[in-house]
Structure 1
Amino acid sequence: MILYAVTAVIFLVIDAIMLTLVMKPLFTRNVGDMMRDGLMLAPAGLFYLAYVAGLVFLVSAPALRDAEPERAALHGAIIGALAYGTYEFTSMSIMKNWSWSMVATDTIWGAVLTGFSAWAGVVIMMRLQG
């Protein structure tokens, strides 16, 4: 439970900064007319709760058990690229005005954020335990 909480805080804080400074302006430029005026918290919250739970279950807990934070970084990055890429490439294939810059930025961001969050959560837990 502590690993989940640590990873979630890292993920959410860093993602909130990126969403505010980079992703919102990028999406506004390309698909601004399709964006809501305000955020719907329930769907966003459900995504983040489930995504971090999956990350911890599939990546962070096994890496912590084996004391391999580098593996958490690599496997987390792969999960992040797959998850964010799924959204972006699917959107690119069916939505008007979707741009390759959105696809590349968000897919790379998903890999970096997820890999870093998994790695940092494992490192922090290793230090707390030892």
Structure 2
Amino acid sequence: MVYWLFKSEPSTWSWDDQVAKGEIGEEWDGVRNYQARNFMRQMSVGDLGFFYHSQKERAVVGIVEVIAEAHPDSTTEDERWECVDIKAVKSVKTPITLDDIKADERLSEMVLVRNSRLSVQPVSAEEWQIICEMAGVSD
């Protein structure tokens, strides 16, 4: 299993929006960063990810599953940009803030801590387990 983190501004696309899409899920479109796009190219159906609200909230609020591998982003005709489709799996019991993550030494090497601007990023299996425990959920 490979784990990821998907960041979204709640005013643009919130966890509630993602949950409302149900089993059909939604494209994780609009990403215009090569590194984030390359991470999506590495994803496989069944991979799990944290859904992270950026801006003011800055917190992991849910868990999503990749349901379609990288394909052309429907929001542009530029062939360089691809996206995956994701669906909501479950909400976390306790949202885990960026401050919570930074306060835990075990998470000091997490991409979110080192490069918090990247909108799609990998999460190690150890980081995944730690945050799931903190959030009161099991994957």
* TM-score normalised by the chain length of structure 2: 0.23
**Larger C-alpha radius of gyration, 1 or 2?**
1
Higher RCO structure (Cα 8 Å, ≥6 apart): 1
Give the structure with the larger strand fraction.
Answer: 2
Give the structure with the larger helix fraction.
Answer: 1
* TM-score normalised by the chain length of structure 1: 0.24
